[in-house]
Amino acid sequence: MVSDAPVDQWTIYKLRPDGSLSTQYSAMPIPAPEGWVTARAEWMFQRVDIGYYAFEPGDILLEYFSRDRGYNAFATFRATGEFVGWYCNITHPTTVNDVTREIHWHDLYVDVLVLPDGIVIVVDEDELAESGLAASDPTLHATILSARDELLERIARNAYPFSELSAAI
């Protein structure tokens, strides 16, 4: 699939756990260290509130995609610049096509939230349990839990990308 996005933009495709397309959107590239792709996107969808965290139309997301690790991290800011927190997804490693400017990431149930006060919340582990992966694909189930643990460790150490809140929105 060739993207219609201008060369200076990424087209980002989010896939559901079953591999079907959940959504796609455009984002502007931001410089990133080796092994990462970073983009700036605007939340163009309706309000989504999961209780601990909400996305609002006009929010700015600085999206950090690891090319080789099983997670990504989105620093979310209100249009006013107020920091909302980090929304992190456990994923298959992100697929990046630098030629067509496409990023494909495959969501895998578990999410990790980091609120502005530093509270860390792991959500959707019930969805992982209900998926039956522990029995049907124990290797993938273990991979998801391992990626969650690695992500939690990066958060605790304030390792990249969590060290990047000074990035301009």
CATH number of the domain that residue 109 is part of: 2.40.380.10
Which residues are within 8 A (CB) of 135 and not within 5 positions of it... i.e. 6 or more apart? none
| pLDDT, tens digit, 9 for 90 and up, residues 67-79 | 999 999 999 999 9
Domain that holds residue 103: 10-157
Instruction: With respect to residue 77, please indicate whether it lies within any of the assigned structural domains.
Output: yes
Mean pLDDT, the chain, whole residue set: 92
- Tell me the pairing of strands 21-30 and 36-42: antiparallel
Specify the 3-state DSSP secondary structure of 78. Answer: coil
Instruction: Please report whether residue 164 resides in a domain.
Output: no
pTM above 0.85, yes or no: yes
- Per-residue pLDDT, averaged over 123-133, amounts to 96
Q: Is 153 a domain residue? A: yes
In this model, does residue 100 exceed pLDDT 90? yes
**In this structure, is residue 162 part of a structural domain?**
no
Dihedral sign computed on CA atoms, order 37, 96, 94, 115: positive
**Is 1 part of any domain?**
no
- pLDDT one-digit tens code per residue, 109-125: 999 999 999 999 999 99
Question: Given its phi and psi angles, is residue 118 left (phi above 0), alpha (psi -120 to 50 degrees) or beta?
Answer: left
Domain assignment present for 47: yes
Contact call for residues 43 and 58 (beta carbons, < 8 A): yes
The domain tally of the chain equals 1
Report yes or no on 125 lying in a domain: yes
Determine what percent of the chain is predicted with pLDDT higher than 90.
Answer: 86
Residue 21 lies in a domain: yes
